């Protein structure tokens, strides 16, 4: 995947001098936060160097320097035995030393062992607390979300799936950022082909600064010119655990609090994890509501434009006078009117998203009420369209996966333009185009529109509706899981093994 | 390949310029059409359409009526446009009303012209006017502002809840082109300033023949397709006095059975009416089941005689709105429409059996 191949790629960390000591001393030249100091102890002097900004000083003092001063030592081995730091290593390799130093290790050197250093792990730990999920909030269900630190995230996932079969493969991606990326899957459930595909694609990413999991997802997705997201992106550890149990593959990057789940289907992008916490009837209702609202959100404004521009005979007689009355003052054709309102709503959304939370709320209220009302009174839009557009916008926010919500909002615009050009035929054409496009899409080589195309009725249990858990005895075929049954083979009545 | 794509895409976009937009507030939507006879071969088309006067933020609904003289429907529209502020379109037509004189000469060509227009639905109402449609379509005061809706609502609610049999353009044409059935239309007239439904017009093919009044229409509706509504008043004798009861239909089921075929067909018509007494004059004790049974018998007999009278009249007029022909044809090889019409139909016998059942008589204290 040579998306971003540069003509001259930057080579990071190419040490010029081959001598470890000289190289260490040279480091402080360009890096003003690089420290080199000699520590005097009753048992001899020791040189210690580190990036001050990357080191937890208290830890270095208490766990390393204190024991050094109180307990006798002579060699690196003695030190390793005495100090309270577990993660230590003795090395003479410059690249390793370089890498470790940048990860928050301190290097210490005995005066008589110039060719070797002892690396001590004491990284500064800047970390956000595990907090409530913001974009995928659910009323019931766990209230924890991933954080930026990969170790914490792995901990959150491991805690939910305490089995040795949960495999974690770590990769470093990005020539500059060398972003630590972990691929998760459950051995014995996940199809090895999916695992191999995702690892291979991740390995082949050739880019300098990988911003995180979301950027990686864009780099490794099957089709990069589509507006549809091909991976589910989540900040919920429970969703990751549920997906892993279905046989999916997940990857996360250090520094981004999101997990990317693949292979995914279109329907999954409209399912919220709350669907699995609520009773199945309610969950099914909510899911159908969501799917309906997607259709409504995409088609409402285009239908308004088409009917008012071309198909006046379609208007029910009782609505006719209301519609004409609301339009009679407006100087624009329906297309301009609709685009104007849609644009306003998008502006409000974007402004609300960029501004701090409290200001954002104000913007929403001011925009929604004041601008909407004023533009109707000023005769720029009809109040019927205002309702239609506002409802459509509201409907688009019901999509639980953020990326998919964006897609739903974007895709409306070509529909509006087509409806203004060709009327209802334009909408039909565009719809056919989108469906054809969706049929062609793949996620990690698996069909995106499954289980509708290809038709797999057994997987319909978790699409328009979410059937009760006793129907969930088989993992979805989409993932080609190695073991299909979600139930233990034993016939004990009690043991209904539900992974989610 | 790229060139081809580019060309087809640009054709797609550029050609949209050729498409006429018909933005709803930039056209005038005709809601009712009236067609009258006007000297020799000419016709007078009267249309009504709503338009909005913009007055600041509020806009007011107004109705306008225009009449032109022409031979064909489309020509009329084009002539009307010479007098309209914005282009007139037929797409929202709800009611087409024909004058009696036009109907006597045949309606087929006019109805077909509307039927062919893809923008006009086939569920719109046709009706016949006693008098000039131009006059009927001129309402007074507030009604004038709702004229587009007025006539379609008038016919619709009478079909749904009262005694007018079901009718629309589709059914009219279906009956018209059927060999074994004749078409009907609701008949509208104007009394003083008020338009009102006065009965049903009977057609032979597309020509108006005669009409029946509202009481007959009630019976006719029961016989034609049964009903789930409608009210009628009947006279009954009670203790030697004439009393009136009003019976509301709850459900009517009608079944035609061919009893014999030669030399002339004979039909048993079983009418099962379930009704409810909603009102009565005098002192009929509706709690007394004997009296209710008496009413049932008496009213049933009245309906029976009325029905037989009506059918006889249809046979004399040689019109068949009840569709005996359809029933006969469905069991006949070598069906000959003319023979049926001229010889067989007038001789057809029918026995009406009415089974009236009073389900309830309202809440009683």
Tens-of-pLDDT digits for all 500 residues of chain A?
455 554 555 554 455 556 888 888 888 777 888 888 888 888 888 888 899 888 888 888 888 888 888 888 888 888 888 888 888 888 888 888 888 888 888 888 888 877 888 888 888 877 788 888 888 888 888 999 999 999 999 999 999 999 999 999 999 998 888 899 999 999 999 999 999 999 999 999 999 999 989 999 999 999 999 999 999 999 999 999 999 999 999 999 998 999 999 899 999 999 998 899 999 999 999 999 999 999 999 999 999 999 999 998 888 888 888 888 888 878 889 999 999 999 988 888 888 888 887 787 787 777 778 888 888 888 888 888 999 998 998 898 888 888 899 999 899 999 999 999 889 999 999 999 999 999 999 999 999 998 898 898 888 988 889 999 988 888 888 888 888 888 876 555 555 555 55
Whether A168 maps to a domain, the answer reads yes
Q: At what angle do helices A357-365 and A334-354 cross, to 10 degrees?
A: 160
Q: What is the pLDDT of residue A197?
A: 93
Whether A402 maps to a domain, the answer reads yes
For residues B55 and B154, membership in a common domain is answered with yes
- What is the DSSP annotation of A312-373? GGGS-HHHHHHHHHHHTT--S-HHHHHHHHHHHHHHHHHHHHHS-HHHHHHHHHIIIIIIHH
DSSP B127: E
Alpha-carbon gap, residue B244 to B238, rounded angstroms: 9
For residues B176 and B305, membership in a common domain is answered with no
For residues A285 and A341, membership in a common domain is answered with yes
Whether A308 maps to a domain, the answer reads yes
For residues A197 and A109, membership in a common domain is answered with no
Whether A457 maps to a domain, the answer reads no
> In this predicted model, what pLDDT tens digit does every residue of B146-163 receive, in sequence order?
777 888 888 999 988 888
- The answer for residues whose C-beta is within 8 angstroms of residue B69's C-beta and 6 or more apart is B38, B42, B43, B44, B45, B79
For residues B286 and B168, membership in a common domain is answered with no
User: E strand or H helix at B53, and its extent?
Assistant: strand B42-55
Q: Which of A54-58, A469-473, B189-193, B279-283 has the lowest mean pLDDT?
A: B279-283
Please name the residue of chain B whose CA is at the shortest distance from the CA of residue A422. B16
Q: What b/e readout covers A357-378, taking b as 16+ CB neighbours within 10 angstroms?
A: eeeeeebeeebbeebbeebbee
Please name the residue of chain B whose CA is at the shortest distance from the CA of residue A329. B54
Q: Which of A101-110, A229-238, B281-290, B331-340 has the lowest mean pLDDT?
A: B281-290
Chosen from A305, A311, A312 to mutate, greatest number of chain B CBs within 10 A: A312
Judge: B50–A377 Cβ closer than 8 Å, yes or no. Answer: no
B42-55, strands of its sheet edge to edge? B58-70, B42-55, B32-38, B95-99, B125-129, B184-191, B194-204, B207-213
Q: Is the pLDDT of residue B263 over 70?
A: yes
Whether B177 maps to a domain, the answer reads yes
> In this predicted model, what pLDDT tens digit does every residue of A9-47 receive, in sequence order?
555 445 555 688 888 888 877 788 888 888 888 888 888
From B189, B213, B237, give the residue that closes a domain: B213
For residue B15, list chain A residues with Cβ-Cβ distance below 8 A.
none
Q: What is the pLDDT of residue A195?
A: 94
Spatial CA neighbour of B296 closest among B342, B363, B236: B236
- Indicate the residue of A328, A333, A379 with minimum beta-carbon distance to B21: A333
Q: How many domains does chain A have?
A: 3
Whether B197 maps to a domain, the answer reads yes
For residues B145 and B33, membership in a common domain is answered with yes
The Cβ of residue A306 has, within 10 Å, a number of other Cβ atoms equal to 27
Q: What is the pLDDT of residue A348?
A: 86
Q: What is the pLDDT of residue B172?
A: 93
Chosen from A320, A333, A383, A429 to mutate, greatest number of chain B CBs within 10 A: A320
From B174, B189, B213, give the residue that closes a domain: B213
Q: What is the pLDDT of residue A11?
A: 52
From B213, B248, B272, give the residue that closes a domain: B213
Whether B263 maps to a domain, the answer reads yes
- What is the DSSP annotation of B179-243? TT---EEEEEEEETTEEEEEEEEEEETTEEEEEEEHHHHHHHHHHHH--S--EEEEEEEETTEEE
From A402, A417, A447, give the residue that closes a domain: A447
Alpha-carbon gap, residue B96 to B34, rounded angstroms: 6
For residues A298 and A249, membership in a common domain is answered with no
**Single pTM value for the model:** 0.82
For residues B243 and B311, membership in a common domain is answered with yes
For residues A334 and A205, membership in a common domain is answered with no
DSSP A62: I
Whether B10 maps to a domain, the answer reads no
CATH of the domain at B283: 3.30.300.210
Residue B104, domain extent = 24-213
Strand pairing partners for B224? Answer: none
Please name the residue of chain B whose CA is at the shortest distance from the CA of residue A309. B23
Strand pairing partners for B350? Answer: B267
Whether B9 maps to a domain, the answer reads no
Scan residues 330-359 of A and list those with Cβ closer than 8 Å to B.
Answer: 330, 333-334
Q: What is the pLDDT of residue A496?
A: 55
Whether B3 maps to a domain, the answer reads no
Whether B294 maps to a domain, the answer reads yes
Residue A236, domain extent = 150-264
Exposure on the CB side of residue A479, measured as CA atoms within 13 A: 29
For residues B168 and B101, membership in a common domain is answered with yes
> In this predicted model, what pLDDT tens digit does every residue of B25-79 receive, in sequence order?
888 888 888 998 887 778 888 888 887 776 655 566 777 788 888 888 778 888 8
Judge: A313–B23 Cβ closer than 8 Å, yes or no. Answer: no
Whether A464 maps to a domain, the answer reads no
Q: What b/e readout covers B72-81, taking b as 16+ CB neighbours within 10 angstroms?
A: ebeebbebbb
For residues A315 and A355, membership in a common domain is answered with yes
Q: How many domains does chain B have?
A: 2
B92 lies within 8 A of chain A by CB: yes
DSSP B71: S
For residue B25, list chain A residues with Cβ-Cβ distance below 8 A.
324, 327-328, 330
Q: Is the pLDDT of residue B314 over 60?
A: yes
For residues A168 and A219, membership in a common domain is answered with yes
Alpha-carbon gap, residue A421 to A303, rounded angstroms: 12
């Amino acid at each position: 995947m040579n998306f971003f191949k540069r003509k001259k790629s930057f080579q990071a960390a190419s040490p010029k001098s081959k001598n470890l000591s000289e190289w260490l001393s040279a480091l402080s030249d360009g890096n003003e936060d690089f420290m080199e100091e000699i520590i005097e102890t009753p048992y001899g002097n020791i040189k210690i160097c580190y990036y001050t900004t990357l080191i937890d000083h208290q830890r270095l003092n208490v766990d390393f320097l204190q024991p050094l001063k109180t307990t006798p030592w002579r060699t690196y081995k003695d030190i390793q035995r005495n100090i309270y730091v577990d993660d230590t290593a003795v090395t003479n390799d410059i690249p390793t030393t370089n890498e470790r130093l940048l990860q928050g290790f301190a290097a210490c050197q005995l005066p008589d062992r110039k060719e070797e250093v002892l690396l001590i792990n004491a990284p500064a730990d800047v970390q956000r607390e595990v907090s409530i999920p913001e974009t995928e909030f659910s009323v019931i269900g766990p209230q924890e979300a991933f954080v930026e630190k990969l170790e914490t995230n792995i901990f959150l996932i491991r805690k939910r799936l305490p089995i040795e079969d949960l495999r974690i493969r770590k990769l470093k991606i990005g020539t500059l950022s060398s972003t630590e990326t972990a691929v998760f899957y459950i051995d014995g459930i996940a199809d090895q082909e999916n695992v191999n595909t995702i690892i291979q694609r991740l390995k082949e990413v050739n880019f300098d600064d990988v911003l995180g999991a979301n950027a990686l997802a864009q780099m490794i997705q099957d089709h990069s010119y589509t507006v549809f997201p091909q991976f589910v992106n989540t900040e919920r550890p429970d969703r990751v655990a549920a997906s892993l149990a279905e046989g999916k593959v997940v990857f996360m990057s250090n520094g981004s609090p999101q997990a990317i789940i693949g292979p995914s289907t279109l329907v999954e992008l409209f399912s919220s994890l709350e669907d699995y916490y609520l009773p199945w009837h309610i969950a099914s209702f909510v899911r159908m509501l969501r799917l309906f609202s997607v259709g409504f959100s995409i088609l409402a404004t285009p239908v308004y434009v088409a009917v008012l521009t071309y198909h006046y005979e379609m208007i029910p007689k009782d609505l006719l006078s209301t519609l004409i009355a609301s339009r009679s003052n407006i100087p624009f054709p329906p297309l301009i009117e609709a685009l104007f309102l849609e644009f306003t709503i998008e502006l409000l959304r974007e402004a609300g998203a960029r501004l701090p939370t409290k200001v954002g709320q104000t913007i929403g209220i001011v925009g929604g009420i004041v601008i909407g009302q004023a533009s109707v009174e000023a005769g720029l839009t009809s109040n019927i369209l205002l309702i239609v557009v506002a409802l459509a916008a509201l409907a688009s926010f019901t999509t639980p996966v953020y990326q998919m919500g964006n897609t739903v909002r974007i895709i409306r615009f070509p529909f509006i333009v087509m409806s203004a050009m060709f009327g209802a035929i334009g909408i039909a054409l565009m719809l056919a185009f989108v469906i054809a496009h969706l049929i062609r899409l793949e996620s990690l080589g698996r069909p995106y529109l499954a289980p509708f195309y290809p038709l797999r009725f057994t997987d319909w249990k978790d699409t328009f509706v979410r059937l009760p858990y006793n129907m969930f005895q088989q993992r979805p075929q989409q993932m080609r899981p190695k073991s299909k049954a979600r139930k233990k083979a034993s016939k004990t009545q009690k043991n209904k093994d539900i992974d989610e | 390949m790229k060139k081809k794509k580019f060309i087809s895409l640009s054709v797609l976009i550029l050609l949209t310029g050729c498409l006429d937009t018909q933005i709803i507030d930039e056209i005038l939507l005709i809601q009712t059409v009236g067609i009258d006879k006007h000297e020799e071969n000419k016709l007078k088309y009267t249309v009504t359409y709503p338009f909005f006067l913009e007055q600041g933020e509020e806009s007011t609904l107004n109705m306008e009526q225009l009449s032109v003289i022409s031979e064909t429907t489309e020509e009329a529209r084009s002539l009307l446009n010479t007098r309209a502020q914005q282009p007139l379109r037929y797409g929202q037509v709800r009611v087409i009303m024909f004058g009696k004189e036009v109907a006597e000469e045949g309606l087929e060509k006019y109805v077909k012209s509307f039927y062919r227009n893809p923008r006009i639905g086939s569920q719109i109402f046709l009706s016949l006017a006693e008098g000039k449609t131009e006059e009927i379509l001129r309402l007074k005061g507030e009604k004038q502002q709702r004229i587009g809706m007025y006539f379609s609502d008038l016919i619709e609610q009478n079909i749904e809840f009262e005694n007018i049999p079901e009718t629309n353009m589709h059914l009219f044409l279906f009956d018209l082109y059927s060999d074994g059935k004749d078409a009907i239309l609701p008949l509208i007239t104007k009394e003083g300033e008020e338009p009102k439904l006065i009965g049903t017009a009977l057609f032979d093919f597309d020509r108006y023949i005669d009409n029946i009044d509202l009481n007959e229409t009630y019976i006719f509706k029961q016989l034609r397709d049964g009903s789930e509504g409608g009210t009628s008043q009947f006279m009954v004798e009670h203790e030697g006095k004439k009393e009136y009861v009003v019976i509301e239909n709850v459900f009517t089921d009608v079944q035609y059975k061919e009893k014999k075929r030669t030399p002339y067909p004979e039909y048993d018509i079983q009418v099962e009416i379930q009704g409810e007494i909603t009102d009565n004059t005098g002192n009929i004790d509706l709690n007394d089941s004997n009296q209710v049974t008496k009413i049932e018998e008496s009213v049933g007999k009245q309906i029976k005689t009325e029905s037989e009278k009506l059918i006889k009249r249809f046979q004399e007029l040689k019109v068949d709105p009840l569709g005996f022909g359809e029933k006969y044809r469905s069991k006949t090889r070598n069906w000959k429409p003319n023979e049926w019409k001229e010889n067989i139909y007038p001789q057809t016998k029918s026995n009406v059996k009415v089974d009236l059942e009073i389900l309830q008589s309202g809440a009683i204290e």
